């Protein structure tokens, strides 16, 4: 749920990165954080386990600039991907304006992607979102690794809605900003419609 503040002339939107464990959600945010100028970002908060797995969420506030005299701010969150953290994932989805589904392109992770997408659908529905309407993009991550499922195949299995889909390698940063941009665009267009 976006927050339009006429007093400070700001608009705040929330984008959540979702996907199976170790697919690279946190790595996406870290790359964005590292490549963003200081005056356009706040502190990145990571509530993680000692082994750097996300425990509750990562949070990165970004200021993208102005539209029609309003400062646009995006709050990026990641969920913990490990299956047993489902209660936390539900909490992070509250008030979401757009979702990035990060898929792990490695063959061995195909089932995990499908399971996580199903879990996303269930959790969005539980929060009262219409899964067919919410701004949604899919990122096929880890394209730099061997033994990958083809993008065609992934698309067939994961992208029923034919939403924007992007190839990425979050570790090198390839496709990371393109993904964010695609999601931000959908979210802003949704606001335009009076969402």
Partner 1 sequence: MFGPQSSLVMYDEEYQRILSILEKMLRESNSKVIFLVDKNGQLIAATGETANLDTTSLASLTAGNIAATGGLAKLIGEKEFSILFHEGEKDNIHISIVGGRVILVVIFDQRSSLGLVRLRVKKTSLDLAGVFEDLAKKAMAQIAAAGTASASPFAEITDDDIDNLFN
Ligand X SMILES: Nc1nc2c(ncn2[C@@H]2O[C@H](COP(=O)(O)OP(=O)(O)OP(=O)(O)O)[C@@H](O)[C@H]2O)c(=O)[nH]1
Is residue 53 involved in binding partner 1 (CB under 8 A)? no
In angstroms, give the least distance from the CB of 106 to partner 1: 29
3-class SS of residue 120? helix
Please report, as ranges, the residues that interact with Mg ion according to CB under 5 A: 25-26, 54
Angle between helices 110-126 and 151-158 (to 10 degrees): 30
Tell which one of 82, 157, 178, 190 touches ligand X (CB under 6 A).
82
Measured in degrees and rounded to the nearest 5, phi and psi for residue 109 equal -105, 10
In angstroms, give the least distance from the CB of 81 to ligand X: 3
Would you say 18 and 124 are in contact if contact means Cβ atoms under 8 Å apart? no
Is residue 47 involved in binding partner 1 (CB under 8 A)? yes
Is residue 184 involved in binding partner 1 (CB under 8 A)? yes
* CB contact set of 104 (below 8 Å; sequence gap of 6+): 19, 20, 22, 23, 24, 112, 113, 141, 142
User: CA 129 → CA 19, 42, 103, 161, distances in Å?
Assistant: 18, 28, 21, 15
* Binders in 57-116 for partner 1, by CB under 8 A: 57, 59, 61, 64-65, 67-70, 72, 75, 87-88, 90-91, 94-95
In angstroms, give the least distance from the CB of 82 to ligand X: 5
**CA atoms of 139 and 134, how far apart (whole Å):** 16
Tell which one of 114, 163, 171, 181 touches partner 1 (CB under 8 A).
181
Where does this chain bind ligand X (CB under 6 A)? 19, 21-27, 53-54, 78, 80-82, 141-142, 144-145, 169-171
């Amino acid at each position: 749920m976006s927050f339009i503040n006429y007093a400070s002339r700001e608009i705040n939107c929330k984008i959540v990165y979702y996907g199976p464990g170790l697919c690279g959600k946190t790595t996406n945010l870290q790359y964005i954080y590292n490549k963003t100028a200081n005056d356009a970002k706040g502190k990145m908060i990571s509530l993680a386990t000692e082994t750097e797995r996300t425990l509750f969420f990562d949070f990165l506030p970004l200021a993208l600039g102005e539209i029609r005299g309003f400062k646009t701010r995006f709050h990026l969150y990641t969920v913990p991907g490990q299956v047993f953290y489902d209660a936390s994932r539900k909490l992070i989805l509250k008030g979401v304006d757009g979702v990035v589904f990060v898929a792990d392109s490695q063959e061995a992770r195909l089932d995990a992607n499908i399971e996580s997408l199903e879990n996303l659908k269930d959790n969005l529905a539980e929060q009262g979102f219409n899964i067919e309407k919410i701004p949604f993009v899919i990122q096929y991550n880890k394209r730099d690794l061997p033994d990958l499922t083809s993008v065609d195949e992934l698309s067939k299995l994961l992208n029923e809605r034919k939403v924007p889909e992007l190839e990425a390698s979050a570790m090198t940063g390839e496709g990371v900003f393109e993904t964010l941009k695609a999601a931000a665009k959908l979210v802003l267009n949704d606001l335009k419609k009076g969402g």
